[in-house]
Homo-oligomer: A and B are copies of this chain.
Amino acid sequence: MTGELEPIDKAIVRELSADGRRSFTELAERVGLSVSAVHQRVRRLEQREVIRGYSARLDSEAIGLPLTAFISLAPIDPAAPDDYPQRLEHIPEIEACYSVAGDYSYVLLVRVPSPVGLEELLRKIREAAKVSTRTTVVLSTPYEGRSPAL
């Protein structure tokens, strides 16, 4: 059940990835199908969770979160259960959590207002998950959230 996407669905997904507010009328023109057919396909893609929702792309500086960082996590107690994502889920500064192969167990993508905010966040994370951390500060973001190849 991986990567099985018809050409028309692919085109729809591509369009909605580039512009999530594209109207059904516009989509219909671009993929060469009637409005109601497109409508039905979009609904089906949403139900199948190929499309998991829609978001505004925000300028993190403009919304008061100019400092981005990657935080890598390593367990302190090797016997502790691996429920780190759940332990950290309530912390809103964490935008994403990846389980990774390598020296660390998880990588978090976080956004904070300032260096002090990062310091506080690291304390919160260590406390909540009992992990040691390694932080990589993002200096600038040439690009982000680009649409997939398809």
Contact = CB atoms under 8 A, between A and B. Distances in A.
Interface of A: 1-5, 10, 13, 16-21, 48-66, 68, 70, 85-86, 89, 92-102, 106-107, 111, 113, 136-150
Contacts of A59: 49-52
Given A48-B62, A62-B48, A62-B49, A141 B96 contact: yes
A138 B100 contact: yes
Kindly list the 6 A-B residue pairs having the minimum CB-CB distance in the complex, ordered from nearest: A3-B64, A85-B142, A20-B54, A16-B56, A92-B149, A96-B144
A100 B48 CA distance: 37
A85 B143 contact: yes
A60 B113 contact: no
Contacts of A68: 98
A139 B100 contact: yes
Contact of A148 (B17, B92, B138): B92
A5 B55 contact: no
Contact of A56 (B13, B58, B100, B144): B13
